[in-house]
Chain A
Amino acid sequence: MAHAYTPGLKVSSREIVRKIRRLPIKGDVFPEVGDMVQPHDIVARTEIPGDPASVNISQLMTVEPYELPDVVLVKPGDQVEKGQVIARKVSFFGLFKSEQMSPVDGVVEMVSEVSGQMVLREPPTPLDVEAYVEGIVRRVLPGEGVVIETAGAFIQGIFGIGGERRGEIKVVASSPDEQISASDIDESCAGKIVMIGSLATSEIIRRAEEVGVLGLIAGGIVDHDLIEYLGYDIGVAITGHEDIPLTLIITEGFGPMRIADKTFDLFKELEGRTASINGATQIRAGVMRPEIICPDPDLVAELKDAPDSIDTEEEEDAGGLGIGTPIRIIREPHFGALAEVTGLPPELQMIESEAHVRVLSARLVDGTEVTVPRANVEIIEG
């Protein structure tokens, strides 16, 4: 296979990033190709049909479905208010009367003489899609959304929770392997995206929540801290829709993890600038990793005059592994270690588990030479 290794996560100070901003159902798209947009600009809008409410008139009023016309007081298309009488049954010459009220404000959508139920629909709710990043509109997907191009720093995490947020970057950790404590998160972190070093604990996350932090970036998290904070366990790696007030992005993996120097240094460089972040992670078809996008206003301005590169650009090859390629080992026994490739033997080799796989040799930061399956490394890209 051409790409037996994991391509790796992007950590780049200068990158062109494209974001597709799409409605879940068809609607109106506002900007045109070439327009410059700001993160909070609404680029598309639709109306999500209101929730339907079903009322089983036949069952509630003990009438046969075909008798509905005798008792139902409204017809499809009628506006109804919550509490309005929608069906009335009178029996014994008016002595007994039973009524059914509408459970919602809305419109009568259907009255079925076959099943005996009535369907009411609540008013639609508008849904806006914001630009999320500042940039230029490169494509309009008619009725669906836009493709926005921005330029600046781009960092991908390995796992995250929480959705899209925007704020100023602040670095609290003094080194890539520092484990800060909850008390290090103070009022100055409010409304910001805070880099906290090698480990996010549930105590730190809760403290950040209290203070009003918008985003936390850490090297690692211990699994039970994540469960404790969320109140439930994540079984399948599809995240981003958690009902939490901040977004958490993990850059390296589970357990205490020293952040790669390159990532840490870039955060230091970006301190004080505004970034858009998203914790959404999906590790299946259509891989999605959490991201930190920090547009550079000068580079964004240049995009206006730059040609549209979407059609012409070939997918950038990750470059592949070569002697000297900086890598990160992503599985035991050297999990998390940073290294440099020193050899790429072509033939299969037997590893300790007795599997015959393609391997590489690498020199760890401390000088130790190790042999690792190629599947267990990722290139540090940028």
Chain B
Amino acid sequence: MPTEGVTKIPKDQMETIIATDCGSTTTKAILIEKRDGEYRLVVRGEAPTTVEAPFEDVTMGVRNAVTEVEELSGKTFLEAEGIITPRESDTRGADIYLSTSSAGGGLQMMVAGVVKTMTAESAERAALGAGAIVMDAISVDDGRMPHQKISRIRQLRPDMILLSGGVDGGTITHVSQIAELIAAADPRPRLGIGFRLPVIFAGNKDARGHVNQTLGEMLDLRIVDNIRPVLEEEVLEPAREEIHNLFMEHVMAQAPGYNKLMEWTDAPIMPTPGAVGLGIQNVAKQYKMEVIGVDIGGATTDIFSVFAGTFNRTVSANLGMSYSICNVLLETGLDNISRWLPMNVSEEDLRSRIRNKMIRPTTIPQSLEDLVIEQALAREALRLAFEHHKTLATGLKGIRQARDMGDTFDQKMSGGSLVNMMTLGMVLGSGGVLSHAPRRVQSALMMLDAFQPHGITRLAVDSIFMMPQLGVLATVHPEASAEVFDRDCLVRLGSSVSPVPQEGVKVDNLRGTTAAKVTMAMPDGTERVETVEFGEIKLIELEEGQVAQAHIEPGRRWDVGEGVGRPVDAELEGGVVGIIIDGRGRPVVLEPEAADRQKQIAGWIESLDLYPADALAKYISEGQAV
């Protein structure tokens, strides 16, 4: 969605920027100003979102959040007609006002294609990348009978449908069949009773006539370029752009107060996850590395990744820390949650706590025990969401691979995962449980346990979750967005060094071995040598902005990126946590017996100074008494 140049003020004259994100519960406003030649976050304000009854006007929440910004900055940004743009003086008005939105359930889509792993999957990627929640993906071969597909389409009330299928010039029979099933279902939009549901057709161009004849009258049909013009190519941009257009025209126009908000903003309102996705892609470019971004919320967990230059986003719609916390329990099981706890908690107690969090989603852990349990749940929610992400962040499936002699002995299946944990450069976390953990090292370990990166990886969190605003800002002023991201958004936790055991080596053969010896030239001129045995995790303090030159020698059966047993020289970036050397194996090896495992976890907690020791000891001894 390139919008550079559409604003009233030239980019180089923008000095005051107001941006809001209207989330499902909170509307967050930020003020960015150019000071001494640099764009910086000045203040932020927040207020409850007002899309729902009794207010039913999103601009009330925006006004309240911006009022807080006014109070904190001592400047005026609001007038009766909305946000004052362009700026009238140094203390009145902003040069530009931008917004993102996920209020009212965000953008909910159904996608359809002919073959599940091909066009339907491409349609799913297009919708997810545009910031949608995909409610279902229908395809000819999805295993459901036609009547089941029809009744499913009827039952869903999406904001829009993306229909793909067939390569250009190929048969139109199957994609026509899907279009006819959609027509038979006569689907209704989620918002606006009586409105025609928007459908984007991004399939075989030869089928346009028939699709138009089938759906044109009953639905609001838009036709864009084929998502898979040939099997070997995926072209997602035209479909994504149309999704954004329809999001503005249709979804936003139906949501309470958005017509007014659209008049206030100087660039189109973006779906929040779409803006975060743009932000993550910019991070990958800015730091020239492969990146995983995660946003764990109350209802959903979004994972973004850029590997080998390809951006992917998945949303696990029912994995979250409050509204859908019971679904985390349901999907992973109680044992997988308990395995991260250093103490005994009875099954009934644990279940009741999780259920009570679901029904009272705004409460926060007061006791340390509650915090430890909540962070165990976060590990599992993140892990499951990442598993889901790996299944969709793949190369194109079902295509013929170009082969030469060199490939003869390396016949990889098409459609393999793009996610490579060894080349991964940074994990960037956001969402309350990661951004607001009482100790930053807790966020670092949650991400290490959930994603289990290999080799050297930077760890960071978004300080106040301003990625959405910075994403939409990047569409009009990429440099300002990058500067604020680097200086005010990114909290650098530090780096992890995670040696990986040689494939096929049994755990018993790893016991007693050295995972890695790390020799670091510290910024103060001293040298520090740390040896980490299998099963250990160590923390070395290295402040934010500092770098240590490291020589890492993996053990005989371990790899840190250059192959088994081969040393690596690297710069390790410090942070508010420091350098974590993780010798726990990949996947992390947990003791099978509960008592042994609890001791093991307690040991890691102590090594990293993860929780206040006295309070934790009390819960561990209470649990043992039980």
A residues contacting B by CB (< 8 A) are 1-3, 6, 23-26, 49, 51-54, 56, 65, 109-110, 112, 114-117, 119, 121, 143-144, 158-159, 222-224, 233-237, 253-255, 281, 283-287, 315, 330-333, 335, 351-357, 372-373, 375-376, 378
Contacts and interface: CB of A to CB of B under 8 A. Distances in A.
A234 B369 CA distance: 25
A283 B366 contact: no
Contact of B55 (A52, A119, A236, A315): A315
B180 A115 contact: yes
A352 B368 contact: yes
A372 B330 contact: no
Interface string B186-219: 1010000110000000000000001000100000
Nearest to B363: A331
A330 B323 contact: no
Given A26-B193, A51-B151, A335 B365 contact: no
Nearest to B52: A286
A223 B352 contact: yes
Given A54-B146, A236-B318, A355-B365, 14 more contacts: A1-B46, A49-B186, A54-B184, A119-B180, A255-B348, A283-B361, A286-B52, A330-B356, A331-B356, A333-B367, A352-B367, A352-B615, A353-B364, A375-B364
A353 B351 contact: no
Nearest to A5: B362
Contacts of A65: 173
Contacts of B351: 222-224, 254
B284 to A, nearest CB: 31
Contacts of A24: 188
Interface in B23-81: 24-26, 46-48, 51-55, 64
Contact of B324 (A56, A115, A236, A351): A236
Interface in B416-442: 436, 438-439
A193 B570 CA distance: 70
20 contacts: A6-B362, A6-B363, A52-B147, A54-B180, A110-B183, A112-B180, A116-B177, A143-B193, A235-B330, A236-B326, A237-B326, A253-B355, A254-B352, A254-B359, A281-B359, A283-B361, A285-B104, A330-B363, A331-B365, A353-B371
B173 A26 contact: no
Contacts of B331: 235
Interface in B327-349: 327, 329-331, 348
Contact of A3 (B48, B177, B183, B329): B48
Nearest to A238: B323
Contacts of A144: 193
A285 B52 CA distance: 7
Contacts of B612: 352, 354
Contact of A1 (B47, B55, B103, B615): B47
A29 to B, nearest CB: 12
Contact of A254 (B193, B322, B356): B356
Nearest to A221: B355
Contacts, number: 187
A234 B318 CA distance: 11
B363 A376 contact: yes
A53 B147 contact: yes
A118 to B, nearest CB: 9
A362 to B, nearest CB: 13
B10 interface: no
A248 to B, nearest CB: 14
B364 A332 contact: no
Nearest to A64: B173
A236 B299 CA distance: 9
B174 interface: yes
Contacts of B104: 285
Contact of B364 (A109, A285, A355): A355
Nearest to A56: B146
A233 B188 CA distance: 29
A373 B188 contact: no
Nearest to A55: B146
Given A143-B194, A158-B359, A331-B370, A2 B47 contact: yes
A234 B299 CA distance: 14
B426 to A, nearest CB: 26
Contacts of A331: 356, 360, 363-366, 370
A54 B153 CA distance: 14
B176 A114 contact: yes
Nearest to A253: B356
A168 B537 CA distance: 63
A342 B194 CA distance: 53
Contacts of B367: 332-333, 352-353
Nearest to B615: A352
A332 B184 contact: no
Given A253-B356, A333-B366, A333-B367, A110 B47 contact: no
A52 B365 contact: no
B363 A375 contact: yes
B105 interface: yes
Contact of A234 (B47, B210, B326): B326
Contacts of A354: 368, 371, 438-439, 612
Contacts of B353: 332
B539 interface: no
A375 B25 CA distance: 14
Nearest to B178: A115
Given A26-B194, A353-B438, A355-B436, A335 B356 contact: yes
Nearest to B46: A1
Contacts of B248: none
Nearest to B149: A54
Contacts of A233: 326, 330
A179 to B, nearest CB: 15
B366 A372 contact: yes
B150 interface: yes
A235 B176 contact: no
Contacts of B246: none
Contact of B150 (A52, A253, A330): A52
Given A331-B370, A353-B366, A112 B176 contact: yes
A117 B177 contact: yes
Nearest to A104: B147
B24 A284 contact: yes
Nearest to B146: A54
B184 A110 contact: yes
B178 to A, nearest CB: 9
Given A235-B330, A376-B366, A285 B615 contact: no
Nearest to B24: A285
B364 A25 contact: no
A115 B151 contact: no
B323 A355 contact: no
B364 A357 contact: yes
Interface in B108-123: none
B464 interface: no
Contacts of B436: 355
Contacts of B151: 51
Nearest to A119: B184
A257 B66 CA distance: 42
B460 interface: no
Nearest to B369: A332
Contacts of B360: 6, 158, 253, 330-331, 378
